[in-house]
Structure 1
Amino acid sequence: MHVSGRVIAHSRADGLPSWPYPRWIAHRGAGRLAPENTLAAFALGHAHGYRMFECDVRLSADGVPFLLHDDRLERTTDGRGEALGHDWAALARLDAGAWHAPRHAGERLATLEAVVAFCHAHGCALNVELKPAPGDELRTARVVGAQLALIWRGTPAPLLSSFSVIALEAAAVTAPALPRGLLLERFCGDWLATAQRLGCVAVIGEQSAWNAQWATQARAAGLRMLAYTVNTDEDAERLLGLGLDGLITDRVDHFSPDGAPGQCLQ
């Protein structure tokens, strides 16, 4: 299998502008095949042909943006306690790989700056989920948005996403040129009005929550549609049938990002 290093946009037949991101997006770097949110995971996802990555970004106590999904350190590092309670110098010494497999022992937490450098070097796009610790929404969005606006080169720009309305509001002020996506576990309440008020270009819904009604509403509003986390052929086929623009997957060794949508690796 050969995959070009270029990020290739795919067009739509519904009159919306060309979407500048690949359809298949690697979740947390390489899904579950490597320690999530580490450079090892990005390298493995890239080796499987993926050219866009989703990752979770939060801040250390001293304001360094780095990749970590959980508020606490125990699940994916040898550290303890709330991540927000540690300066980056302490976080940088943690082992973020041994929990996954012995061969990954010694893998370190990745800074956002290091991940951006990886994407620049390999021609990859990025979906940065703002994952602030409780109460740290404003600071996280402002720092991450400002850093991305400063250090990202070329197109397409990183897609900023979050479940936090507060974070997306702050990102819109700090880095208005960066596209935003509203993350949703369920389509309820005024989700569409919220996405529009925030100036979002996309809605990123939990994969089982998408149906024809929500897809029709999002499309009519001019919003792009993405889903997380798409790990079965049946789910991929259903979502592609609804016209989704992006599928975030753990199964980078199963879904081929350069073949026909939904094609699997053999």
Structure 2
Amino acid sequence: MTAPPAPWPYPRWIAHRGAGKLAPENTLAAFRLGAQHGFRMFECDAKLSADGVVFLMHDTGLERTTSGHGTGGDQPWGALSQLDAGTWHSRAYAGEPLATLEAVTRWCLANALLLNIEIKPTPDVERTTGEAVAALATRLWAGAPVPPLLTSFEAESLAGAQAAAPQLPRGLLLDALWDGWLDAARALGCSAIVCNHTLWDAASVRQAQAASLRTLSYTVNDEWAAQRLIALGTDGIITDRVDLFSPGT
């Protein structure tokens, strides 16, 4: 007999990288804007600076979303903190800095908001990044009623998080339902699968639920796609369209 899934304390709607595309992703400005649209939970990307500071950025390279050049993880936080992470988006956000995970966490906790931290390691430091993110999250969220959800495409990062903070919930990110995905999630002690929304159908949702895993989707920006996922009985929807969806539904 399959055990029922553990209680799920997270809302259905999750704002992607703070506020989707309406503000510079992974910055505090984006999180503030997402909250203004009524979102109570946010997804972000976390990686390590060269001197071990956990900061928010999706790409390995700095060029797309900052004024910097090269690999973000190769630079110390002192240099990264001086970069402009807003001008690429629009003039209104010129000078917006990169954010540390600690700064975003403290803002979330002060406002009773929740966080899905995607561990997004620089290549070759997958496990170290998972360990560092989980250790920092444990310290920052100590005593909070709901912990952050840690997710990653990288099994090594999730293994590091599992070793450093086994009590924190984890989710395996998938861009394909490759052979052994369910066994991998079980081995990593995951409580959720987070996959490309097109991968979910009645059979895959049933497989995950039979393994007591929650089912989340990225990145859902169309109403028809959201309605399909709700009808399938999935648990979470990560969206850029904080201006389209009402997180109260």
TM-score by length of 2: 0.97
Q: Tell me how far apart the structure 1 counterparts of residues 178 and 95 of structure 2 sit (CA, whole Å).
A: 43
Match of 2:22 among 8, 14, 33: 33
How many pairs were matched up? 246
* Alignment correspondent of 2:53: 64
Q: Tell me how far apart the structure 1 counterparts of residues 163 and 5 of structure 2 sit (CA, whole Å).
A: 25
* Alignment correspondent of 1:5: none
* Alignment correspondent of 1:53: 42
Once the two structures are superposed, the pairs formed by residues 108-257 of structure 1 within 5 Å of their partners are: 108-153=97-142, 154-257=144-247
Identify unmatched segments of 5+ residues in structure 2.
Answer: none
Q: Tell me how far apart the structure 2 counterparts of residues 155 and 177 of structure 1 sit (CA, whole Å).
A: 13
| 1:122-178 deviation per Cα after TM superposition (whole angstroms, max 9, x unaligned) | 111100000001101121111111111111141210000000000111110101111
Aligned 8 A contact 2:40 2:114 in 1: yes
Q: Which amino acid aligns with 2:98?
A: L
Q: Which amino acid aligns with 1:25?
A: I
Identify unmatched segments of 5+ residues in structure 1.
Answer: 1-13, 261-266
**Structural RMSD (CA):** 1.0
Q: Which amino acid aligns with 2:102?
A: E
Identity between Structure 1 and Structure 2 (%): 54
Q: Tell me how far apart the structure 1 counterparts of residues 183 and 6 of structure 2 sit (CA, whole Å).
A: 21
Q: CA deviation at 1:15?
A: 5.2
| Runs of 4+ residues deviating >2 angstroms | 14-18
Q: Tell me how far apart the structure 2 counterparts of residues 138 and 201 of structure 1 sit (CA, whole Å).
A: 19
Q: CA deviation at 1:19?
A: 1.2
Q: Tell me how far apart the structure 2 counterparts of residues 151 and 110 of structure 1 sit (CA, whole Å).
A: 15
TM-score by length of 1: 0.91
Equivalent residue of 2:217, what SS? strand
Q: CA deviation at 1:16?
A: 3.7
Aligned 8 A contact 2:85 2:94 in 1: yes
Q: Which amino acid aligns with 2:81?
A: A
